[in-house]
Amino acid sequence: MKIGSVLENQVLEKRIAITPELVKKYTSLGFEVCLIENYGFHLGINDDEFKDVGAKIINNESEILDISDIIVQVEMLSNEKISNIKQNQTIIGVLNPYKNKEQLENLAKKKINLFSLELLPRITRAQSMDILSSQANLAGYKAVIESFANFEKAIPMMMTAAGTVPAAKVLVVGAGVAGLQAIATAKRMGAIVFATDVRMASKEQVESLGGKFLTVEGSENLETEGGYAKEASDDFKQKQEKLLSETLKKIDIVICTALIPGKKAPLIIKEKMVEHMQTGSVIYDLAAIQGGNTAYTEVDKVIKKNGVKIMGESNILNKLPISASNLYAKNVFNFVDNLIDKENKKININLEDEIIEKTLIK
């Protein structure tokens, strides 16, 4: 069996799906690893590092896509690259079926097996494959670092002979994986941290990290069976808006992480709220690519409104591509390991396996 990977569109995506340390693991499963020339060069990994552990380096992208039984990527392949895919091959990556529906339907008609890893069920056995958690962890950390770098005051409280510098106050909107990492990072750096989430189960997690959970009066637990947040009622939104309006007046930095899978990001911080924030405050919107949690968010721009900086990037993980690639590649390997019939050295699409059944795009 051959497993291959080609470069992503480097303008949009710097992560890679196979790292040198995993080549030997794939080889032990019975794979020959085929990679495009200069596959990891932009991350400081030269071709020799891949060759030394047994990978085959090929300078023809079309050849890799043609000969590989399994193609692993980060994002969806372009239409041009898809033209090189033949029947019965398998593609694994973050295929985003909500965004690429028509493209994926056409691929499925060609009898290509498509596995989209963001659809993994939230079960214990799938944790080692959970790309959303591994990548969101890094995103939450980096969002804090980026926002602190753009905040023009000190973060921790400092007591000096010249006077006391107060600690920065941080609000994290959405206490999922990214939000919890943002809370932990901000707390480690000396900030006073508040957090809010529609899932009441988050309260204990927030408080265990030293954050203060803002509870909406009469709130219900808006959590799906899979552990994701679901759409809030209009009544909840009004109460949350009132609570946030008052809270934001004393907040220095806001980290927005609220997302609903497959839908536009909920608008949580509205124009009037921004108008009442302190001059010099910073909002970092991790939901920017899905429309943003903040009224003024624009992708890959820093917007200034009433002295408040609003930041949002299309892919914050491009600022941590080495760490992100290492974690992503391990997630992918664990998924492939589960997909393979090791005795017969072939792909086994066992639909009784919840992991395979949930991620397979039919």
Give residue-wise pLDDT tens across range 8-51: 998 899 999 999 999 999 999 999 999 999 999 999 999 999 99
At 267, list the tokens. Answer: 């608008």
Task: Report the length, in residues, of the chain.
Answer: 362
Mark whether 197 is an active-site residue: no
DSSP state of 360: B
Question: What number is the average pLDDT over the span 50-63?
Answer: 96
CA 272 to CA 200: how far, in whole Å?
26
284 phi and psi, to 5 degrees? Answer: -110, 120
pLDDT band at residue 222 under the 50/70/90 scheme:
low
Query: Which residue among 5, 68, 103, 133 is the active-site one?
Result: 133
CB contact at 8 A, 1 and 31: yes
Instruction: Say what the pLDDT of residue 301 is.
Output: 95
Instruction: Say what the pLDDT of residue 165 is.
Output: 95
Give residue-wise pLDDT tens across range 251-306: 999 999 998 877 889 999 999 999 999 999 999 999 999 999 999 999 999 999 99
At 318, list the tokens. Answer: 């491009």
Mark whether 323 is an active-site residue: no
Query: Which residue among 47, 69, 228, 245 is the active-site one?
Result: 228
| 47-69 core/surface letters (b: 16 or more CB in 10 A; e: else) | beebeebebebbeebeebbebbb
Mark whether 245 is an active-site residue: no
CATH superfamily of 2-119+321-359: NAD(P)-binding Rossmann-like Domain (3.40.50.720)
Query: Which residue among 28, 78, 127, 314 is the active-site one?
Result: 127
Q: How many CA atoms lie within 13 A of 161 on its CB side?
A: 0
Instruction: Say what the pLDDT of residue 99 is.
Output: 85
Higher pLDDT, 84 or 176: 176
Least confident of 31-40, 168-177, 191-200: 191-200
pLDDT exceeds 80 at position 236: no
Mark whether 133 is an active-site residue: yes
Question: What number is the average pLDDT over the span 145-156?
Answer: 97
User: In CATH terms, are 2-119+321-359 and 136-318 the same topology?
Assistant: yes
CA dihedral (319, 99, 287, 136) positive or negative? negative
Instruction: Say what the pLDDT of residue 221 is.
Output: 57
Instruction: Say what the pLDDT of residue 312 is.
Output: 95
Provide CATH code, domain 136-318: 3.40.50.720
CA 240 to CA 153: how far, in whole Å?
28
CA 206 to CA 149: how far, in whole Å?
24
Least confident of 48-62, 86-100, 181-195: 86-100
Least confident of 88-102, 220-234, 335-349: 220-234
Burial of 175 (C-beta count, 10 Å sphere; 0-12/13-18/19+): buried
**Close Cβ partners of 117 (under 8 Å, ≥ 6 residues apart):** 92, 93, 94, 129, 131, 331, 332, 335, 359
Domain range summary for the chain, segments of one domain joined by +? 2-119+321-359, 136-318
pLDDT averaged over every residue in the chain:
92
pLDDT exceeds 70 at position 343: yes
Question: What number is the average pLDDT over the span 175-194?
Answer: 97
pLDDT band at residue 125 under the 50/70/90 scheme:
very high
Query: Which residue among 47, 69, 122, 128 is the active-site one?
Result: 122
Instruction: Say what the pLDDT of residue 145 is.
Output: 98
At 274, list the tokens. Answer: 């921004």
Instruction: Say what the pLDDT of residue 288 is.
Output: 95
pLDDT band at residue 224 under the 50/70/90 scheme:
low
Secondary element (H or E) of residue 172: strand 169-173
**Close Cβ partners of 319 (under 8 Å, ≥ 6 residues apart):** 142, 146, 313
pLDDT exceeds 70 at position 230: no
Instruction: Say what the pLDDT of residue 271 is.
Output: 95
Query: Which residue among 68, 89, 130, 219 is the active-site one?
Result: 130
Long-range residue pairs from 41-48, CB within 8 A, at least 24 positions apart, any chain = 42/10, 42/14, 42/321, 43/14, 43/16, 43/321, 43/322, 43/325, 44/322, 45/19, 45/20
Instruction: Say what the pLDDT of residue 240 is.
Output: 82
Alpha helices in 150-283 (DSSP H): 177-188, 202-208, 234-248, 271-275
CA 64 to CA 48: how far, in whole Å?
18
Mark whether 228 is an active-site residue: yes
Q: Which residue, chain included where needed, has tokens 């060759």?
A: 51
